[in-house]
Homo-oligomer: A and B are copies of this chain.
């Protein structure tokens, strides 16, 4: 198993990514190999400087870097030797089994869709994120930004993608799916959610439990929350800001701690032909480590095969 990691993606890269990779490697089995993408000599030097063993990793030399604010499509085509471009090249060719980066989100999406490509039958991939539950564990929220405008059939597919992710990567049996909406009743909502409800209700591949309101998101109401990418992104960033407030105020609490993105490592792009994970821009070594471990879990669970079967 080859787990691809972009060493030059993220606000704290390459320091944080190198440290995260070293930590992740300690948790992996012998046949689980991390492949580092970036300036090879530079990475090796950094690993040795921090007391790590550079021989424990594989390398793909990629001297160019796509910065956080570059135009995704242009950057990917103009910088074929960037760590992100090389990562997707190797992922497409099957030379690595997953690719993760805390770098340019747009470039990661473009690479996912135009390089490894969408799984046949999937209209559009979605980005999923974890939302902590008050009691314990996580729910899944998607889409959180890949598709600002959605059609009902897309949300219906997100429900399947999210359910499979919840079930096979996080081990939640028969995950409950809720439609993020503005009322409990079936007839409530905007045009999108009103049209989506009957699709979800009649979808035999999911365990649909009806509408979920904003207040339900952190409860046991559902395991998978489905919405358009505009709404999901607003909700995600709002929730993150609450967590930041609790941090600033020095509030220590198990529930708020579970908002910490470092714990779950990153947001997967669901619906493409390989595991792709987008890390938070401010990923720390802990976040990078968990992003690598999540990559491993997605490979081990044969999650991509489950999606292919569901959309076959």
**Contact surface of A with B, Cβ cutoff 8 Å:** 134, 145, 148-149, 180-182, 189-191, 193, 213-219, 227-231, 233-242, 244-245, 249, 251, 253, 255
Contacts and interface: CB of A to CB of B under 8 A. Distances in A.
Contacts of A253: 249, 251
Contacts of A231: 230-231, 234
Given A191-B149, A217-B238, A245 B255 contact: yes
B190 A228 contact: yes
A214 B234 contact: yes
B215 A237 contact: yes
Contacts of A227: 234
A241 B255 contact: no
Nearest to A255: B245
Nearest to A191: B149
Nearest to A234: B214
B241 A189 contact: no
Contacts of A213: 233-234, 237
B148 A189 contact: yes
Contacts of A145: 182
Contact of A215 (B180, B218, B238): B238
8 contacts: A145-B182, A189-B230, A214-B235, A215-B237, A227-B234, A234-B234, A234-B235, A245-B255
A182 B238 contact: no
B235 A235 contact: yes
A214 B230 contact: no
**What 5 pairs across the A-B complex have the smallest Cβ distances?**
A214-B237, A214-B238, A148-B190, A215-B241, A182-B233
Given A182-B145, A190-B149, A215 B240 contact: yes
A168 B245 CA distance: 30
A214 to B, nearest CB: 3
A193 B230 contact: yes
Given A214-B241, A215-B240, A241-B214, A234 B148 contact: no
A190 B239 contact: no
B234 A180 contact: yes
Contacts of A148: 182, 189-191
A189 to B, nearest CB: 6
